[in-house]
Structure 1
Amino acid sequence: MGQEDELRAASEAAAGEAETPIEKLRYLLLARGYTGIMQFGRLFRIADDDDSFTLSMDELREALQNFGLDFNEEEANDVFNSLDQDHTGSINYNEFLAQLRPEMNDERMAVVEEAFHKLDESGDGVVTLEDVKGVYDASGHPKVLDGEMTEEDVLTKFLGRFEGTTKVDGKVSKDEFIEYYSGISKSIDNDEYFVDLLKKSWRL
């Protein structure tokens, strides 16, 4: 069983023992794998009908339902009320995902940010195909050599790894990058191993 499979299994078991609805939601999303939180983040934005970057109670229920999460009305209300601490009737997208994202210590966060900044050559806070072309050579990929895929196809698929499967747009924000690696971080206990993994992956 690979690390992601272990994360899925452990998170699914932990969801059944979660003490709060937010904790249950975090584990149910991690049970979807490394990209579970990112995928839910996209549904959050899709459910944000008025583009306010916030969700109402009804929009949150819609996002939970569309993602196929087993939350009854009371649990959904508890999630919403625990985040709507100022009682405005809405919850902020960034604050919501920050609550869901597994914490990384300073050492881990530093190497994740270093990797992102290396990818984000333009410095605009978003990694695109053009950025990736500068650090990832797809010309020698077996499917490119066989003519099955173009270099751009390979690079788009590479970016999709950090985007999950919902509304992939060929762009990766810093938050999406961090959310992806927070899932991986959750499955790796050893700090040194996690840091070495990223340094080798991105040649830092």
Structure 2
Amino acid sequence: MLPQQDFESVWRVVDENNDGVIDYGEFMRSFIGEMNETRRAVVRKVYRKLDPRKCGFVNLLDLQKLYRARNHPLVANGNVSESELLRQMKESFAQLCHTDARNISYVEFTEYYEGVSLTVPTDADFINMMRNCWGV
């Protein structure tokens, strides 16, 4: 068992915004780390494409319409259907949305891809997946 003092020390580090709750992004950054800059750059590029008016959010329905699920490696390999991949993506974004489940902010989009990034072994594979799925 972790002594209370040690627990509180860890909690203060992980709870970055001191709101008393550890959200998905805080957990990922603290225990797993962040994406490297190469991957982060392609995520930024995709988000800029999705938010050309720079309003700060992307509607989840618009995001689903623009996403090319058939080009995702898991769909191309036959491991998952297009509809299943879209359903998983929608559920993941719904869990990440801090304010409005219909709109995805840049931070939420990045948090999603930080999780995806963990499953992709190389930067080249990650970049190819992003390009193929988002057309950038």
Query: Structure 1 length normalisation: TM-score?
Result: 0.42
**8 A contact 2:42–2:127 mirrored in 1:** yes
The answer to whether the aligner puts 1:195 opposite 2:127 as a matched pair is: yes
**1:115 counterpart (32, 41, 46):** 46
2:78 match: none
> Greater CA radius of gyration, 1 or 2?
1
Shift of 1:190: 0.9
Report if the CA contact (8 A) 1:112-1:178 is conserved.
yes
Q: 1:91 aligned to 2:18?
A: yes
Cα deviation, residue 198, structure 1 = 0.5
1:19-30 correspondence runs (5 A): none
CA shift for structure 1 position 164:
2.5
- How far does residue 173 in structure 1 lie from its aligned partner after superposition? 1.0
The runs of 5 or more residues in structure 2 that have no matched partner are 69-85
Q: For structure 1, which runs of at least 5 residues remain unmatched after alignment?
A: 1-70, 138-154
What is the one-letter code of the residue matched to 2:118?
Answer: K
* Count of matched residue pairs: 112
Change (3 A) 1:103 1:136: closer
Q: 1:112, 1:181 within 8 Å by CA — same for their partners in 2?
A: yes
Which structure ranks higher in relative contact order (CA pairs < 8 Å, sequence separation ≥ 6)?
2
1:132 aligns with 2:63: yes
Return the alpha-carbon distance in structure 2 between the equivalents of residues 73 and 79 of structure 1: 10
C-alpha RMSD of the superposition: 3.9
**Residue matched to 1:181:** 113
After TM superposition, the structure 1 = structure 2 runs for residues 28-177 of structure 1, keeping only pairs within 5 Å, are 73-74=4-5, 76-82=7-13, 91=18, 97=26, 99-100=29-30, 102-129=33-60, 131-132=62-63, 135=66, 159-164=90-95, 169-177=101-109
Query: CA separation in 2, counterparts of 1:182 and 1:136?
Result: 18
Whole-angstrom CA distance in 2 between matches of 1:103 and 1:198: 17
TM-score by length of 2: 0.60
State whether residues 159 and 170 of structure 1, in contact with CA within 8 Å, keep that contact through their aligned partners in structure 2: no
> Quick check: which one's helix share is greater?
2
Classify the secondary structure of the residue corresponding to 1:163: helix
DSSP-derived class of the 1:132 partner: helix
Q: Distance in 1 between matches of 2:106 and 2:96?
A: 17
Distance in 2 separating the partners of 1:186 and 1:124: 29
